[in-house]
């Protein structure tokens, strides 16, 4: 089993610093399945190549085999298999053992090096790739690699036999070495679609550590997680939930992501139990334990000294770019501060990012997050670390399940409500129901609404074929039911304000283009007491189309289990007598 890593970044011998392996020495490392050798076929200022040769002992693998009751009795497969020759999870473990410090992005002798992108060339002469060349490209090309994956014939003497599932892999790209090593660490066993040890729950943590910075945004992250975790649904779901927290994936999409992947190779029957040194199901095998100790994020053991050179000056950090999400959060917080709000509703709170920002400011003494998705609330609970909060801090926040198109007594009497990028996820015919539930029933003193400005989408469109961004007519998210231009949003805000006794103020959020306006538009509604009576008369006939409360509690220590109406010394005006009646004991529709 063989792998090479080369760079032409000058001086190329800096590769020795990053790998913590001296270019002038050949070194040997012991693993539980054989010996790993590191040497440099060439090393000068213009080009440096490091080679990892893994000499697998098949007898050692055979001695470790313990087949379960359901394993096929393929005794010959213990002795005749590709494990000593084809890149697989064995090579991934060797990478984690031999180059663990490099994978962590550490270089004490030259601390400026790990973060620098460098041109890299990686070759693996024999890679087990279930799914063939197409699968190799699907996994590596989105990460910025130029990929060459030449299929290897079953037997060159008999072309009619066709191609094997092995490819000769060559990658070329520019990135930090640590990123490249972590990608290999994950994707080698993913392509093989098998592991040589039992996959335990701690594999989720190893996947997330190795996938930091690249896996959350990978278009095939669901497939990667499923294969890496040997298609164990519980572990895969756990990994995807935690990845969803990173890139703001809608939590309700996770259920559809964890699906069975059809086995396309007959020899998948060998799996992880036969002929590859697998461990029993009772626990993590010896090699898995070794991987846990030496993999990404593990503490450093002794490493070979690297060449001594004077370290160069580190690069100056580029200016920090403020994301649109941060602009949006800042604008909302400023609006809430200006309104003097202390008790705030986050309607459609998702995974709790805004709640986390609100908790940082003591002025917001009560925060309630509402979402229709129980999974989103579960993620919010974990992400906010409610279980580890002090009692005083925990008393400030509640998470409750509820649909925003239904009236809910628990939401009455608050100072402010926020609908951050929420309304565009509803079908437009349902907006009147939401308006009544928020403005007509809950009636907070201030309501803050943000939504995308569809006019700005042209600034995301590609300038040439193949460019990045939104295609013409596309919306920013697949779940958006609509996106409004400035005139439409202004008309909606003015109509809702007049109908329910509020005054509306519109503000831009994010970058403002002189032609198409801001990326996000925000409306701040302030309740006008002088028009409340008239507004009640206006909306009295609208409520009959609005269904009553349909709210239920979310299981979990910190998510509300009851439906007790919110109490307030200065409660909002009551809903008209003709509104949907409620059972005072449960809050459910009578």
Gap between the Cα atoms of 438 and 207, Å rounded: 42
Residue 275, pLDDT score? 32
Q: What is the pLDDT of residues 506-545, one digit of tens each?
A: 999 988 889 889 999 999 999 876 544 444 444 444 444 4
Gap between the Cα atoms of 169 and 288, Å rounded: 26
Q: What is the dihedral of CA 344, 349, 352, 354, to 10 degrees?
A: -50
Q: Which of 106-115, 135-144, 330-339 has the lowest mean pLDDT?
A: 106-115
DSSP helix/strand/coil, 56: strand
Are 232 and 328 in a shared domain?
Answer: no
Are 227 and 364 in a shared domain?
Answer: no
Residue 381 falls inside a structural domain: yes
Q: What is the pLDDT of residues 271-289, one digit of tens each?
A: 333 333 333 333 333 333 3
Cα–Cα distance list, 481 to 216, 424, 439 (Å): 25, 6, 21
Task: Output DSSP code: residue 484.
Answer: B
Are 156 and 223 in a shared domain?
Answer: yes
**N-term to C-term CA, the chain:** 70
Gap between the Cα atoms of 10 and 140, Å rounded: 25
**Residue 341: which of 411, 413, 281, 240 has the closest Cα?**
413
**Confidence tier at 491 by pLDDT (50, 70, 90):** very high
> Any idea what the Cα angle at residue 297 is, between residues 296 and 301, rounded to 5°?
95
Are 16 and 155 in a shared domain?
Answer: yes
Are 108 and 184 in a shared domain?
Answer: yes
Are 259 and 172 in a shared domain?
Answer: yes
Are 282 and 329 in a shared domain?
Answer: no
Residue 310 falls inside a structural domain: no
Exposure of 324 in the CB half-sphere (CA atoms within 13 A):
19
Query: Tokens 């400023």 identify what position?
Result: 334
DSSP helix/strand/coil, 138: helix
Residue 306 falls inside a structural domain: no
Of 332 and 290, the one with more pLDDT: 332
Q: Where are the alpha helices (DSSP H) in 348-502?
A: 353-359, 374-383, 391-394, 431-435, 486-500
Residue 49 belongs to a domain with what CATH number? Answer: 3.30.1610.20
Are 180 and 248 in a shared domain?
Answer: yes
Residue 299 falls inside a structural domain: no
Are 216 and 131 in a shared domain?
Answer: yes
Are 473 and 344 in a shared domain?
Answer: yes
Gap between the Cα atoms of 376 and 253, Å rounded: 10
Burial of 482: CB neighbours in 10 Å, binned 0-12, 13-18, 19+ = middle
Burial of 262: CB neighbours in 10 Å, binned 0-12, 13-18, 19+ = exposed
Strand order in the sheet with 502-513: 397-401, 366-371, 343-347, 416-420, 446-452, 517-527, 502-513
Gap between the Cα atoms of 16 and 304, Å rounded: 10
Residue 331 has pLDDT above 70, yes or no: yes
Segment 44-64 mean pLDDT? 79
**Confidence tier at 196 by pLDDT (50, 70, 90):** low
**Confidence tier at 61 by pLDDT (50, 70, 90):** low
Residue 276, pLDDT score? 32
Are 234 and 108 in a shared domain?
Answer: yes
Residue 490 falls inside a structural domain: yes
Token digits for 320? 């920090």
The length of the chain in residues reads: 590
Segment 56-60 mean pLDDT? 69
Are 94 and 158 in a shared domain?
Answer: yes
Residue 17 falls inside a structural domain: yes
**Confidence tier at 56 by pLDDT (50, 70, 90):** confident
User: Which domain range does residue 408 map to?
Assistant: 324-545
Residue 363 has pLDDT above 70, yes or no: yes
Token digits for 588? 């459910």
Q: Is 461 left (phi over 0), alpha (psi -120 to 50) or beta?
A: beta
Q: What is the pLDDT of residues 161-172, one digit of tens each?
A: 888 888 999 999
Residue 25 has pLDDT above 60, yes or no: yes
Gap between the Cα atoms of 371 and 352, Å rounded: 10
- Of 545, 560, 580, the last residue of a domain is 545
Number of domains the chain is built from: 2
Residue 303 falls inside a structural domain: no
**Confidence tier at 412 by pLDDT (50, 70, 90):** very high
Of 572 and 558, the one with more pLDDT: 558
Residue 480 belongs to a domain with what CATH number? Answer: 3.40.50.150
Segment 464-492 mean pLDDT? 76
Gap between the Cα atoms of 189 and 212, Å rounded: 17
Contact 514, 448 (CB under 8 A): no
Residue 586 falls inside a structural domain: no
Residue 241, pLDDT score? 79
Of 565 and 247, the one with more pLDDT: 247
DSSP β-bridge partners for residue 38: 27, 52
């Amino acid at each position: 089993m063989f792998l090479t890593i080369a760079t032409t970044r000058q001086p190329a011998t800096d590769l020795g610093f990053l790998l913590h392996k001296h270019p002038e020495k050949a070194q040997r490392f012991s693993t539980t399945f054989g010996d790993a050798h590191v040497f440099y076929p060439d090393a000068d200022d213009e080009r440096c190549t490091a080679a990892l040769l893994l000499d697998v002992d098949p007898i050692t693998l055979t001695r470790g085999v313990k087949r379960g009751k359901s394993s096929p009795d393929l005794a010959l497969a213990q002795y005749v298999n590709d494990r000593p020759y084809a890149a697989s999870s064995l090579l991934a473990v060797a990478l984690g053992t031999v180059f663990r410090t490099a994978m962590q992005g550490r270089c004490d002798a030259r601390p400026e090096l790990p973060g620098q992108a460098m041109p890299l060339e990686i070759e693996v002469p024999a890679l087990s790739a279930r799914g063939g060349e197409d699968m190799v490209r699907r996994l590596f090309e989105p990460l910025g690699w130029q990929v060459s994956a030449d299929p290897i014939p079953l037997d060159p003497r008999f072309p009619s036999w066709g191609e094997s599932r092995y490819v000769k892999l060559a990658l070329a790209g520019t990135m930090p070495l640590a990123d490249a090593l972590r990608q290999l660490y994950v994707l080698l066993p993913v392509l093989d679609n098998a592991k040589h040890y039992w996959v335990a729950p701690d594999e989720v943590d190893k996947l997330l550590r190795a996938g930091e910075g690249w896996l959350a945004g990978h278009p095939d992250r669901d497939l990667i997680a499923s294969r890496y975790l040997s298609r164990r649904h519980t572990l895969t779901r756990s990994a995807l939930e935690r990845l969803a927290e990173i890139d703001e994936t809608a939590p309700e999409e996770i259920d559809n992501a964890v699906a069975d992947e059809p086995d396309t190779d007959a020899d998948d029957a060998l799996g992880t139990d036969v002929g590859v040194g697998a461990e029993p199901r009772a626990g993590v095998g010896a090699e898995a334990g070794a991987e846990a100790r030496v993999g990404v994020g593990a503490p450093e053991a002794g490493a070979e000294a690297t060449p001594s050179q004077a370290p160069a000056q580190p690069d100056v950090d580029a200016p920090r770019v403020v994301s649109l999400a941060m602009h949006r959060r800042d604008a909302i917080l400023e609006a809430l501060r200006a309104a003097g709000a202390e008790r705030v509703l986050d309607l459609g709170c998702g995974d709790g990012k805004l709640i986390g920002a609100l908790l940082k400011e003591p002025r917001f003494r009560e925060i309630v997050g509402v979402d229709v998705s129980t999974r989103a609330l579960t993620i919010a609970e974990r992400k906010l670390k409610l279980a580890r909060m002090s009692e005083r801090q925990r008393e400030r926040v509640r998470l409750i399940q509820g649909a925003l198109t239904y009236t809910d007594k628990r939401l009455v009497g608050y100072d402010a409500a926020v609908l951050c990028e929420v309304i565009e996820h509803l079908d437009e015919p349902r907006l009147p129901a939401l308006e009544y539930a928020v403005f007509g029933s809950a009636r907070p003193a201030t309501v803050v609404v943000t939504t995308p400005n569809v006019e700005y989408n042209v600034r995301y469109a590609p300038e040439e074929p193949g460019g990045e961004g939104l295609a013409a007519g596309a919306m920013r998210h697949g779940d958006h039911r609509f996106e409004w231009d400035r005139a439409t949003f202004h008309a909606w805000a003015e109509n809702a304000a007049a109908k329910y006794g509020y005054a509306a103020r519109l503000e831009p959020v994010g970058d403002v283009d002189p032609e198409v306006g801001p990326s996000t538009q925000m409306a701040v509604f302030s309740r006008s007491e002088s028009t409340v009576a008239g507004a009640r008369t206006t909306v009295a006939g609208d409520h009959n189309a609005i269904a009553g409360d349909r709210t239920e509690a979310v299981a979990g220590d910190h998510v509300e289990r009851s439906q007790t109406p919110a109490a307030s010394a200065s409660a909002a005006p009551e809903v008209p007598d003709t509104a949907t009646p409620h059972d005072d004991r449960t809050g459910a529709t009578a």
